[in-house]
Each structure stands twice: as structure tokens, then as C-alpha cells.
A and B are shown apart, each in its own frame.
Chain A
Amino acid sequence: MAEPAGTDLVVETSHLTKIYQNRQIALNDCTLTIEPGAVLGLLGPNGAGKTTFLRLVLGLHRATAGWAKVFGRNMSPNAADLRRRIGYIPTNPQFPKGMTPITYLDYIGRLFGLPINTRKPRLAALIRAVDLLPHSGEPIAHFTPGMTARLAVATSLLNEPDLLIWDEPTHGLDIEARRSMLELIKSLAAEKTLILSSHNLSDVDEVCNNAAVLNKGQLIFYGSLQDLKGRIRKNHYELDLEGDQKSITKTVQLLRGLKEVAAAVLRHRRLDLKLTDEVPNSAVLAIVLQTLADNKVSLLSVRTVGMQTEQAYLDMVEKEEQRGFTRLYSQAEAA
């Protein structure tokens, strides 16, 4: 098969597959393209293959099948030139023992082949920028997670990369540090391409314009965040009720009898209501409210379930799980 020209793409993968020692399928047939300026949120539960995908893109792992191109060239363990254009932060950044931020950044600068006249001013500016100036001579081993994260950010920006790959950048950060990190990502997004792996869907919702969802090594969605939100399962509400328990139970039974109600589950006094798509939800909700009123049940609150992106993501994973063997015969939605 002829490989498509990918010179304008930052990352391009085709049928990327990774099987560890013929025992574990970590990534399965992942095909996607990332354009310049994109901020891609890589989503998925633990073990979904997010880190494997990132490591394949970085050339830290070799693909079992398929290929990954970065800046139009095949990525491999010896593609040092390509990695000079990438800034990477692993999930839990580890640093050599006995180093200070200055010695560590100098070491990383040398790993990028930066001459001293470029390296030293740049690392000094970065240490200042990430607020580590007062700690620049202290051993990294004594750093807090927040300080470590800031040092990792400085490290990933040292080579002025065109592509940033950050694996769980907000992992373990307190609220203030997390906010600061998200603001930084927003600023960087203006001039760089970013791939962010995150468990925190609100982070992805805030800073990303594209999303890829992995589940059990399979890419089940790839597209814009708007597309992901567009797949949100609608007509799912939670109602907090007040009134006589007997009346509430009776009302729920009545609601279950309505053909427009797909499911009505009562947990204590919270009603989980799923409506069908056949009738406009406003009309069905009117019937629901009328039924509540008829049975003298008060409504304390009503809300749609979940945050938008989170719900869309959960729905997608759940749907993928339910597809079972049918996934053999239909293309993944992302592909």
C-alpha cells in the first residue's frame, strides 16, 4: 500500500499496533493524523493504550505493526533529529540522583545537542519562567510534586519544540498548580501542537480542540471535541424528589409505564430518568412533571447527567463495550 504524503502533518499513524511479547495487546490498529496547531486530548481508562501510543510516537517503543510518522518522517529509536523537535513529559517524571535544576537542564540541553551559548541562557530563562529560581541550586530529590512538574515543563520546552507530548501533566498537582498548568497549555497552544494524555476530562474539555478516545487498545473516537460532545447521550436526567415515599414509589411505577420513558431508576429519593428519542424531551418532561404533581411529589432539582465531555466519553466507552463481536464487522467510528 502506498504511504500517503504526510509532510504537512505533525503526527500520522497508520494501523499502529503494539503487542508486548505476544502476551498483551496494548494498541490495536490505530490510525490517526494530527495537524499543526491541534491540541489533542488523549482519553481512555487505565490500560487503554494511551502511554503506549505516546511512546510509539516518540520512538521509545517499536511498533509491532503499522507505522508512526512525525513531521512526515518515520519515527524510530534512532530518529534523534525528530525527537529534537519534540518536548516530552512522562507521567511521573524521574530525574537522575544528585542533580539540581541547573545541572539537570544543562544535561538535557546537551542531550539535545545545544551548544553552551544557547543552552545556558535558555535554561536560566526557563528556570525563571517556571518559578524555580529560588530552588535552582537545590537537589531535585527534595522537590515537591508541583516543583517537579514545573521542572518537567521547563525540560520539555528547552529545545523549543514544535510538538509537545505531555503524559498526564496535571497528575498529582494541587489546585493552584493545576490551574497554572492549564493556563500554560492554553498559551502554548497558540504556537505549538500538543498531545495531552489525561484522565481528567475537565482538563481536556478546557484546553483541547481535538480528542482521541482509546479503549482496550482500540481507537474508538478521533475528531474534534465538538464532535465528541455531539455524541453525548441526550435525554438523561436526575430528579431529586421530596414527598411521601409511597407516593414517590407509585409515581416512579407510573413513569415506567410511559412508552417515552426508557428507564426510571429510583435510588432513595433520586430518580434517574432516561427518555427515548422518539418524542421531543420537553413534551415528555411535561408529562413527567404533571405525573409528579398529580401524585403530590415535589421536585427539588432536575439536571442533565454528567459533564458534557465526560458523559460523551463514558457513553462512547460503554457503547464500545456493548458492541461485542460486532466490532469485527464494522469499522471503529474513529477510523
Chain B
Amino acid sequence: MDPLTLPSTTKINRLLPYWAVLQTDFRQTLRSWVYRLWVLLMVVAAGGYLLYEFGARNESGIFRNGSVQLKDVFRSVALGSLALVAVLAVGSISSERTTVADAVLSRGISRYQYFLAKWHSRTTSIVCTFCLFAGIVVTVQMLLFGRTHDESDVTVRGAVIATLAIGAGLAVLVSLGVSLGALTNGTVMGITAFWLLLYGGMLVLSLLPEPYPSPGRVLERLQIILRDRYDDGLVWRYLAGAAGLSFAAATVGAVGFNRKDV
């Protein structure tokens, strides 16, 4: 090995470390078996359900409204995804601790940049994947069942708002998971804390009086949202609340991670 003498005094791009971690994490998330399993399960669940409904309608003439079908699909996918989304979110930082985190954080990147890159990468990959999936499911459902007015009671606007509502819920979960992964000393501990907080949070939100939207109520009202017959103010309050919760969770995570050893 020869030591190198290379020209020094190079210009530094201070945003580059953030982009490097964001891109690398995004790529690694898409390659991870947890992510692929999650996508596979969503596709199999939605595909199986829609094929069943399609078969039932064609063979027996039994049909249900599009909004009911999509509500069932979205609801089951959202609830069924929780475990894998938790692993994806919590593991983003905690799984790298004591391994590759050393190699990254000992370079020219601050803790805040690292956390933000991880948070943005996981939120984007999970929420965008769900939105893409939801878009495909709505399209397929409309193509398969969109012949009569009763079956096609779903509007595009309603489908978009419903997708956004579930996506916002997922964003909160991912933010919470990434923050817990940054604050705890291991993935298992992080996931445990995640479930405890999730159940506790859901319980607290369900106790709120009626005007306040909770994830449970939103899932129950998906059918109305899909029909585009929802209260605008309520949905926007829910979306704003979700954004606020995500931001709050990430702030706590970033500040806590900055104070922790890696």
C-alpha cells in the first residue's frame, strides 16, 4: 500500500451527507426482506379480496359497494401492516447501532442530519409505497366493478383523501418508530416501546370527545370518505394532527438521539 498525497482544500457540500444517508437508506429499505414481505402481503391480501368479490359478483350476483370493498381492503392492510411497519421504522437506526452507524457517524455528518435522513427516507418509502398500492387497488377496483352506479360509489377525490388519511396515520407510526429506534438501545426494546405507546396512544385518542378525529374513527369512516361525503374540516384537522404528531415525535427523537452514545 502506498500512502497518497492528494490535493487538499476542497469545497464541501454540507447537504451531501444528508442526501447520501437518505439515498442509501432508501435503497436499502427497498431491498430489505421486511419491506418486500410487507408489499407482498398487501398485494396478496388486496388481490385475494378483490378477486373473491369479483368472483362472488360474477358467479352468484352478490355484490357490495366499491366504498365497502375499499374500506375493507384499506382497513385490513393498515392494521395488518403495523407489525412490519414497526420493524421497518424502529430498525432504521437501532439496527445500525454498534455496526455501520460507527462508520457513518464518525465522518462529516451531524447527528441531526443522520436522524433527519433516516426519518425522511423511511417515511417516504413507507407512505409512498402505501399510496402507490392504494392507487393501484382503487384503479383495479374501479376497472373490475365500475359498471353500475351502486358498485362505483367511490370518487377519485374521496379515494385520494382516504389514501392521504391512512398515509398520514402511517407517517405518524413511522415517525414514532424511527424516534424510538434512535432513543432505545436495541431493536427489540424499541419495538416493545413502540407497541406500548401505540396501544396507549390509541386508547387515549379513542377517549377524546367526538369532534376530535382519532385513527380508529377515521378507519370506521373510510367508507364515507371514499364516497366523498365527509366533513372537510374534520379530515383536515385529522391530517394536521397527524402532521403535528409526526413532527413532535421526530423532534423528540432527534433531540434524544443527539444526546445518546452510538
Report the stretch among B15-23, B68-76, B231-239 that lies at the interface: B15-23
Contact B1 A83 (CB under 8 A): no
Report the stretch among B53-61, B100-108, B138-146, B240-248 that lies at the interface: B100-108
Q: Determine whether B109 belongs to the interface, using a CB cutoff of 8 Å to chain A.
A: yes
CA distance A303 to B104 in the complex (A): 49
Contact A130 B1 (CB under 8 A): yes
Contact A113 B12 (CB under 8 A): yes
Report the stretch among A3-11, A74-82, A197-205, A257-265 that lies at the interface: A74-82
Q: Determine whether A96 belongs to the interface, using a CB cutoff of 8 Å to chain B.
A: yes
Report the stretch among A33-41, A54-62, A246-254 that lies at the interface: A54-62
Contact B261 A81 (CB under 8 A): no
- On chain B, the residues within 8 Å of A131 by CB distance are 1
CA distance A108 to B106 in the complex (A): 10
Encode B1-28 as 1/0 by CB contact (under 8 A) with A.
Answer: 1111110101111111101110010001
Report the stretch among A121-129, A274-282, A325-333 that lies at the interface: A121-129
Contact A94 B1 (CB under 8 A): no
Contact A58 B106 (CB under 8 A): yes
Q: Closest A-chain residue to B259, C-beta based?
A: A62
- On chain B, the residues within 8 Å of A153 by CB distance are 1
One of A77, A125, A130, A188 near B110 (C-beta < 8 A): A77
Q: Closest A-chain residue to B24, C-beta based?
A: A107
- On chain A, the residues within 8 Å of B108 by CB distance are 80-81, 83-84, 111-113, 159
Q: Determine whether A187 belongs to the interface, using a CB cutoff of 8 Å to chain B.
A: yes
CA distance A62 to B43 in the complex (A): 45
A163 to chain B, nearest CB (A): 12
Contact A83 B107 (CB under 8 A): yes
Q: Determine whether A97 belongs to the interface, using a CB cutoff of 8 Å to chain B.
A: yes
Q: Determine whether B147 belongs to the interface, using a CB cutoff of 8 Å to chain A.
A: no
Contact A80 B19 (CB under 8 A): no
CA distance A136 to B1 in the complex (A): 15
Q: Determine whether A134 belongs to the interface, using a CB cutoff of 8 Å to chain B.
A: no
B1 to chain A, nearest CB (A): 5
* B interface residue numbers (CB < 8 A to A): 1-6, 8, 10-17, 19-21, 24, 28, 31, 99-100, 102-113, 258-262
21 cross-chain CB contacts under 8 A = A55-B261, A84-B12, A86-B106, A110-B16, A110-B19, A110-B20, A111-B21, A111-B107, A112-B17, A112-B107, A112-B108, A114-B16, A118-B10, A122-B6, A153-B1, A155-B103, A159-B107, A160-B6, A180-B1, A184-B1, A191-B5
